[in-house]
Amino acid sequence: MDQRLLEKIEKLRKQRNAVILAHNYQPGEIQDLADFCGDSLGLSVKAANTDANVIVFCGVKFMAETAAILSPQKTVLLPDKHAGCPMADMITAEQLRQLKHQHPNALVVCYVNSTAEVKAESDYCCTSANAVEVVESLPPQAEIIFVPDCHLGRHVADKTSRNLIFWPGYCTSHILITEENLKLAKKEHPEAIVLAHPECNEPVKELADELLSTSQMLKFAAGSAERKFIIATEIGIIHTLKKQNPGKEFIPASERAICPNMKKITLDKIVASLEDMQYQITVPDDIRVRAKKSLDRMIEVLPA
Ligand code: 13P
Ligand code: SF4
């Protein structure tokens, strides 16, 4: 069954001159078939630079929107139109405008996990891979609004000693990883190195050895001489961690850390997407042009 679907995808991918991009949280078989698999920063760079006519985005809506903003001349497809990100929907453009009104001199940095409208209201975008560097690139005295993820925001404030104004947004999957989960995992595997995503809550992050974006986790695990790792992020990444590091062991901090939206993409939906050119993600020009400015700045700032 899967083989038949994979063959269909292969054929359609060529016919349409399509590139398949997948996030590191996608189901294993989708990460395996993708032309490129990565974190939000890596995927944005790929989307901006591809020569394919069609981008099939195996991820969630804000990622496909980002691709449509960066590559407006391409057709961007999201195989499931309901694959959204609850965190991105935790702040609206109107709420951000009100916050800006309260802090008229502040610069706005928004996490890429946000809607195109919110990006259009922001000065800079960032991902978990370069949030610290983006904030550090701003003038030292600047007042900075950071939306929507308060957990990533606190991590950035910690690393930069900047005084940030937060918004109470969060990832509904990462907060399922609790301090107790991690304490238990560490007790069972005392020699393991803990890699956590900055979207985790603060007590979890305090117990971690490294705070990394998903692609940074893959790079760290591959380059490390250690053999055992506890992974505090969405469990989809464990598929590729294991595949790339056959001799190493990866233990999820919590089996509950699953993003249901990331798992909405399936092989049949990719086939339907390429057959029927659905679901096309577009961003109206007035929003796109303003949002692109903050995304261009995001892409310019490289992680340390
Ligand atoms: P990164 O892969 O950029 O670390 O992002 C994590 C995430 O939650 C994406 O939705
Ligand atoms: Fe959104 Fe969290 Fe899912 Fe990422 S893992 S798409 S931040 S809900």
Answer whether 88-170 and 174-252 agree in fold.
yes
Query: For ligand 1, is residue 66 a contact (CB within 6 Å)?
Result: no
Q: Average pLDDT, whole number, for the chain?
A: 97
What residues does each domain of the chain span?
3-84+262-283, 88-170, 174-252
Q: Whose CA is nearest to atom 5 of ligand 2?
A: 259
Q: Identify the pLDDT of residue 304.
A: 83
**Residues in a beta bridge with 147:** 110
For the stretch 62-104, pLDDT in tens is 999 999 999 999 999 999 999 999 999 999 999 999 999 999 9
Contacts 24+ apart (CB under 8 A), 163-172: 164/135, 165/99, 165/103, 165/106, 167/90, 167/91, 167/95, 167/99, 168/90, 169/87, 169/90, 169/91, 170/87, 170/90, 170/199, 170/201, 171/86, 171/87, 171/113, 171/199, 171/259, 172/86, 172/87, 172/259
Q: Whose CA is nearest to atom 6 of ligand 2?
A: 85
Query: For ligand 1, is residue 24 a contact (CB within 6 Å)?
Result: yes
Residue 198: pLDDT band (50, 70, 90) is: very high
Residue 284: closest CA among 50, 111, 97, 117? 117
Query: For ligand 1, is residue 149 a contact (CB within 6 Å)?
Result: no
Domain 3-84+262-283 has CATH 3.40.50.10800: yes
Report, as an integer, the average pLDDT of 263-271: 98
Give the position of tokens 């398949």: 20
CA 23 to ligand 1: nearest atom: 2
For the stretch 199-226, pLDDT in tens is 999 999 999 999 999 999 999 999 999 9
Alpha carbon of 128 to ligand 1 centroid (Å) = 7
Rounded to whole angstroms, the Cα distance separating 56 from 36 reads 11
Query: For ligand 2, is residue 83 a contact (CB within 6 Å)?
Result: no
Fold of 88-170: Rossmann fold (3.40.50)
Does pLDDT of 27 surpass 70? yes
Does pLDDT of 240 surpass 70? yes
Superfamily of domain 174-252: NadA-like (3.40.50.10800)
Query: For ligand 2, is residue 173 a contact (CB within 6 Å)?
Result: yes
Q: Whose CA is nearest to atom 4 of ligand 1?
A: 213
Contacts of 126 (CB under 8 A, 6+ apart): 109, 110, 111, 112, 133, 134, 135, 298, 301
Alpha carbon of 87 to ligand 1 centroid (Å) = 11
Does pLDDT of 1 surpass 70? no
Mutation test residue for ligand 1: of 26, 113, 173, the one with most atoms within 8 Å of CB: 113
Q: Whose CA is nearest to atom 3 of ligand 2?
A: 259
